[in-house]
Structure 1
Amino acid sequence: MIKFLSRLIKRRNIIKFNKVLSNVIDTPPIYSINTADVLLVSQVHHAAVKMSLIAIKSFVSKFGQCKIELINDGSLTNSDLRILEEHIVGVTIVDIEDIDILNCPKGGCWERLCYLLQRTKDYYVIQLDSDTVTIGAVPEIHQQINDNSGFTIGGPMFPDPVPVEYMSQLAESWNNDHVQAKAEKNLTALKPLNITHYLRGCAAFTGFPKGSNLLTLLPDVSDIMERQLGKETWSEWGTEQFSSNVMQSLCENSQVLKWPKYHNHGFPNYETKQSGLAGYLGKVSLIHFIGPTRFSNDLYTKTVKHTIQNLG
């Protein structure tokens, strides 16, 4: 009965969300600024075009001008491309098949990671998922960019970098079969790459410093972990997120953004004294509405509605 009610609530929230989301088409366009020093990269799927517009427009409205490049995951239609180009004037859209994956796994967002590390040659690069919404000021992001230091969204359990030996030991105690946990058990295998600490974050919102020159190390990370876990396991969804964390960990002075100001919805729950969106405004800058909890309540819908009203 509880599971049935949960599915019913989720279904109702999805219907409400899609109705509100459709209004993003009526918001004014934004502009990709070719002369900007900061590059915003996002991978876009056909079913998430309007979500992507909310994510990108809300971030730009709080952050400011940047160059914008999108990765077509192969599912975008001509209509999708037209909408994106109309709403993000001057945007560059890259075909996923044109990205060099450097002997890393194919799929699972690996192309995205390879691409954004490649672009750090010329820009400070921010990776933004389509299921994020920026609702507040982002001074921490500007500070990290000014310092040319990396960042990643995370959680309260791991607010700071963790020694790789401890992270490996802790992951071993979890008895978790998820590929990220399996990889974290084997973190010490990466010590030849001079990794000493590990930032346990989420690839949904990350920033990589200009000139970080990490692209040469990514294939080494992949090769080492494939030998540790086996090719089949290393090809599972989740290895790119682990590898993004490793890349952040190899950047000097990278930080996990403060929780709950930047957080993954429901991981863990953020309790406020005020109900609904009111408890977030003025306290939270960016929310990643991660899949498993995305429609557990109507917060995503309320956040998108608030954002659209302020974009108009």
Structure 2
Amino acid sequence: MFYRLRNSLKYGVFNFQTRAIFDTPPIAMASTPKYSLHALVCRRDLQMYLLSVKSFMTRVPGALVVAHSDGSLDAGDLRILEAHLPGLQIVPREAAEKKAQDHADPFIQNLRHYGGTFDRLIDSVLWRQGYRHIQMDSDILTTKSPDYIIRWVESGNRPFVISDYEKKETREISPNQPANEHIQTQLEKNQQAISEKTGMDFGNTIGLCSGLYGWQNELLPEDIRKLVETCESLGFDMKKWGAEQVITTWLLNAKGAERLPVKAYINLQENVFRFRESASMIHFIGSHRFRAGWYARMAKKEIARLMAL
């Protein structure tokens, strides 16, 4: 209870400090989109979402924004989105459910209800529209030109994914982990068995994160089903938080995903704190989201930039 109260207070302070995002000018969708920008949006994160999308699409032209409601957005929230992002596509929870029900595979329909952001993965796959797709969490802020992603939008031919480590780096995984270890660690320890059973080569998956990734047609429902079913057949509980991240990033890695440069695209944690001022994009992950007021200070700089456009 104390944690929830403290977290609510931190959100309240952040929202107060960044409330001027609602005074920034609207940003319309591209008349001929080059990419779609997907996110699962909840009411609590609406302000962060506007900061995230506006700071990104003003630097990466050609966007069609697709906001997938988690069911908590009310009519007032939708009006705010439509006013700030005219022409965006809003996917109501009911429409997403119907789209999934219309899908031929009952397994995919059911997978949306596993929790742990599987709905985010399935819905972005089902609602893709034939061009490049970027999945970006609401707690990501773009502070400088994301040159790699700009090039990818124009001519990239491989998926990309944000990561905690360069590809050459590895993290030691002890075989003697506690019984309640994180599902991602469990699966990483058993990657070889999963690879052999699926016939997929997932490569070095250490540090991959599904908070930011880009793809074209590499995420297929049949591959998602195959990997989830294989993990479940080996006794893993794929309804645990973090399982979706493994499924998404492993499948992208199996299709040759490139890791975004870790000094420029960072998941904010100890090993990259020193790069926060020079990074192009920062993922303010939960454990360090409001650390030292960095998020609010950088967000206010972005608001000032947006006001001057």
TM-score, length of structure 1 as denominator length: 0.84
Q: Which of 262, 268, 275 matches 1:259?
A: 262
Q: Which residue of structure 1 aligns with residue 248 of structure 2?
A: 244
Q: Which of 153, 160, 164 matches 2:167?
A: 160
Q: Which residue of structure 2 aligns with residue 276 of structure 1?
A: none
Structure 1 residues 160 and 120: alpha-carbon distance in aligned structure 2, compared to 1, 3 A threshold: farther
Q: Which residue of structure 1 aligns with residue 62 of structure 2?
A: 65
- Output the CA distance in 1 between the equivalents of 2:176 and 2:159: 28
Q: Which residue of structure 2 aligns with residue 108 of structure 1?
A: 116
2:32–2:62 CA contact under 8 A, matched in 1: no
Structure 1 residues 103 and 171: alpha-carbon distance in aligned structure 2, compared to 1, 3 A threshold: farther
RMSD (Å), alpha carbons: 2.7
Tell which deviates more after alignment, 24-33 or 11-20: 11-20
Matched pairs, number: 289
2:167–2:259 CA contact under 8 A, matched in 1: yes
- Output the CA distance in 1 between the equivalents of 2:232 and 2:202: 20
Offset, 1:58: 0.4
Q: Which runs of structure 2 are paired with 1:72-111 in the superposition (5 Å)?
A: 72-96=69-93, 97-100=97-100, 101-104=108-111, 106=113, 107-111=115-119
Offset, 1:62: 1.4
2:210 is aligned with 1:206: no
1:99–1:111 CA contact under 8 A, matched in 2: no
Structure 1 residues 26 and 154: alpha-carbon distance in aligned structure 2, compared to 1, 3 A threshold: same
Structure 1 residues 36 and 197: alpha-carbon distance in aligned structure 2, compared to 1, 3 A threshold: same
Tell which deviates more after alignment, 147-156 or 84-93: 147-156
Structure 1 residues 12 and 287: alpha-carbon distance in aligned structure 2, compared to 1, 3 A threshold: same
Q: Which of 50, 59, 71 matches 1:53?
A: 50
Q: Which stretches of structure 1, 4 residues or more, deviate above 6 A after TM superposition?
A: 6-12
Offset, 1:271: 2.1
SS in structure 2 at match of 1:205:
strand
Q: Which residue of structure 1 aligns with residue 285 of structure 2?
A: 290
- Please tell me the residue identity of whatever aligns with 2:214: G
1:57-94 C-alpha deviation (Å, 9 max, x unpaired): 00011111211111000111111111111111011111
Offset, 1:194: 2.1
Structure 1, unaligned stretches of length 5 or more?
A: 273-278
- Please tell me the residue identity of whatever aligns with 1:151: F
1:121–1:213 CA contact under 8 A, matched in 2: no
1:183–1:229 CA contact under 8 A, matched in 2: no
Offset, 1:265: 1.2
SS in structure 2 at match of 1:133:
strand
Offset, 1:262: 0.5
2:99–2:126 CA contact under 8 A, matched in 1: no
- Output the CA distance in 2 between the equivalents of 1:268 and 1:297: 16
2:38–2:67 CA contact under 8 A, matched in 1: yes
- Output the CA distance in 1 between the equivalents of 2:129 and 2:9: 45
- Please tell me the residue identity of whatever aligns with 1:266: Q
Offset, 1:22: 1.3
Q: Which runs of structure 2 are paired with 1:1-312 in the superposition (5 Å)?
A: 14-33=11-30, 35-96=32-93, 97-100=97-100, 101-104=108-111, 106=113, 107-120=115-128, 122-145=130-153, 146-156=155-165, 159-160=166-167, 170-173=172-175, 175=177, 177-188=181-192, 189-191=194-196, 192-199=198-205, 200-208=207-215, 210-212=216-218, 214-230=220-236, 233-252=237-256, 254-271=257-274, 280=277, 283-312=278-307
Offset, 1:172: 4.7
TM-score, length of structure 2 as denominator length: 0.84
Tell which deviates more after alignment, 298-307 or 119-128: 119-128
1:39-61 C-alpha deviation (Å, 9 max, x unpaired): 10011001111110000000011
1:179–1:236 CA contact under 8 A, matched in 2: yes
Q: Which residue of structure 2 aligns with residue 275 of structure 1?
A: none
- Please tell me the residue identity of whatever aligns with 1:76: L
Offset, 1:190: 3.0
2:219–2:252 CA contact under 8 A, matched in 1: no
Structure 1 residues 238 and 7: alpha-carbon distance in aligned structure 2, compared to 1, 3 A threshold: closer
- Please tell me the residue identity of whatever aligns with 2:46: V
- Output the CA distance in 2 between the equivalents of 1:52 and 1:291: 15
Structure 2, unaligned stretches of length 5 or more?
A: 101-107
